[in-house]
Amino acid sequence: MSRSAGDGAPRGPRFVVTPGGSLRGRVRVPGDKSVSHRAIMLAAIADGETEITGFLEGADSLATLAAFRAMGVTVEGPHGGRVLVKGVGLHGLRAPAEPLDLGNSGTSMRLLSGLLAGQRFETTLIGDASLSSRPMRRVTEPLARMGARIATTEAGTAPLRIGPAETLRGIDYAMPVASAQVKSSLLLAGLYAEGRTCVSEPAPTRDHTERMLGAFGWPVTRDPVDRHGARVCIEGGGQLTAAPIAVPADISSAAFFLVGASIAPGSDLTLEDVGINPTRTGVINILRAMGASLEVLRERDLGGEPVADIRVRGAALRGIEIPADQVPLAIDEFPALFIAAACAEGATLLTGAEELRVKESDRIAVMAAGLQTLGVEADVRADGILIRGRADAEARPGAAAGAGALLGGGRVDSHGDHRIAMAFAMAALRAGAPIEIDDCANVATSFPGFAALAAGAGLGIAEHSA
């Protein structure tokens, strides 16, 4: 967590959002962060020049880009989402002159741990206070089994000091908890390993790494283990060949607008070119189960990833018990989905989501605190949360004031977590008083221009300095 609860003055800019309104029109949210990270990484160690379009020019993706520039890779851009990467080949990276600062980006740190484990030089990975508190042993321990030399703090956190390994060996690893970052880190290390590297997942996780490896010409095999998960394998000793990469709009960023338009009567919003990779569509499946009005239109392929336009209109939502098989498919979208649950009729129960406690913040505890500020009953569980929706709030004592209002207003603390800040901004669509959100600087890590785009769609949001 970027800071502990109640530790004083807000940091960075804050959002002030006026209550009510609806979302209308057509918008395109920024490029997919997960795809942008992987495009830079694989392009850098490919042979030839790779043109990336739709690249997310957010702080997290730019941290990955800067890391490869520091290791001798020539990168032109980004200019309007276009990046040209002149790959140096699998063994062409050079030792950086100083530690690689990855800011707030857990994806950068975990995936780079695997990629750098196979290099012939030493590297140190550092990050901000939030990233330096996140657990890294879930990645470093299986990498060590491959022969990687990675040192962490005693708590298993960054800085990560990665030394050249004598030999990396492929392993067959069964992940105890589904994690695309762990899977991807091991597959990237497997590029440099002798033999076959296989990762079995207990539940489906996003497969952008596997898809992009294939786009760069590296064979990947994927075998179903059972109806829940799969086993993904690669052989070491291959070659990556440059290929054009088109980055779709990020469904994790679209999720805030999907929820906002769903909870606000009169909304009619179309989100363009959204990535609908089946390992990422949990937010669509969950909202539909809650009664949301979602239409998936113009399905097509963009650079190896399925995309579509999504039309969403205001609807009466109902609380549900979130299916276990949807949890890993929506893990980054739960802050937004918690707002949908708060505006639904009846209770919504989430379990099996321990990973939310070790994101940019403890997203279960921080979201619960903010929801309680807005008058929502939210009971924290060890692995999830129970949210009692306020769709019948006007019949309850102490209901929020104002026509159509389900939530109260107030001041909430995002704890520097970009997804929590954006989720509570959308909550104002059903609030009876303004919502102020502190510590919003990190919104730029995944969604530069969020406030302006949301305002253009009808949200009454303004950004203020702290």
Q: Which string of DSSP letters, residue by residue, matches 377-405?
A: EEEEETTEEEEE--TTGGGSTTPPPSTT-
pLDDT at 230: 86
pLDDT at 251: 96
Q: Which of 32, 250, 332, 417 is catalytic?
A: 332
Provide the token pair at 193.
Answer: 């390993």
By DSSP bridging, strand 196-200 and strand 384-388 are unpaired
Residues 108-149 have pLDDT tens digits of 999 999 999 999 999 999 999 989 999 999 999 999 999 999
Q: Is the pLDDT of residue 403 over 70?
A: no
Average pLDDT (250-264) is 97
Average pLDDT (79-88) is 97
7 contact partners, CB below 8 Å, separation of at least 6: none
Sheet holding 172-174, edge to edge: 172-174, 196-200, 230-235, 221-224
pLDDT at 226: 59
What are the extents of the domains in the chain?
14-31+248-464, 33-246
Average pLDDT score over the chain: 92
Q: What is the value of pTM for the model shown?
A: 0.85
pLDDT at 153: 97
8 Å CB contact between 84 and 44: no
pLDDT at 400: 42
Instruction: Report the CATH number of the 14-31+248-464 domain.
Output: 3.65.10.10
Q: Which one has a higher pLDDT value, 210 or 12?
A: 210
Task: Round to whole Å and give the CA distance between 271 and 261.
Answer: 11
Q: Is the pLDDT of residue 5 over 50?
A: no
Q: Is the pLDDT of residue 11 over 70?
A: no
Q: Which residues are registered as beta bridge partners of 173?
A: 199
**Superfamily of segment(s) 33-246:** Enolpyruvate transferase domain (3.65.10.10)
Q: Which one has a higher pLDDT value, 204 or 119?
A: 119
Task: For the chain, give the percent of residues with pLDDT over 70.
Answer: 94
pLDDT at 393: 55
157 contact partners, CB below 8 Å, separation of at least 6: 132, 133, 134, 135, 136
In the residue annotation, 438 being an active-site residue is answered as no
Residues 310-363 have pLDDT tens digits of 999 999 999 999 999 899 889 999 999 999 999 999 999 999 998 888 677 899
Tell me 278's DSSP state: T
Average pLDDT (256-261) is 98
- The phi and psi torsions of 35 (rounded to 5 degrees) equal -70, -40
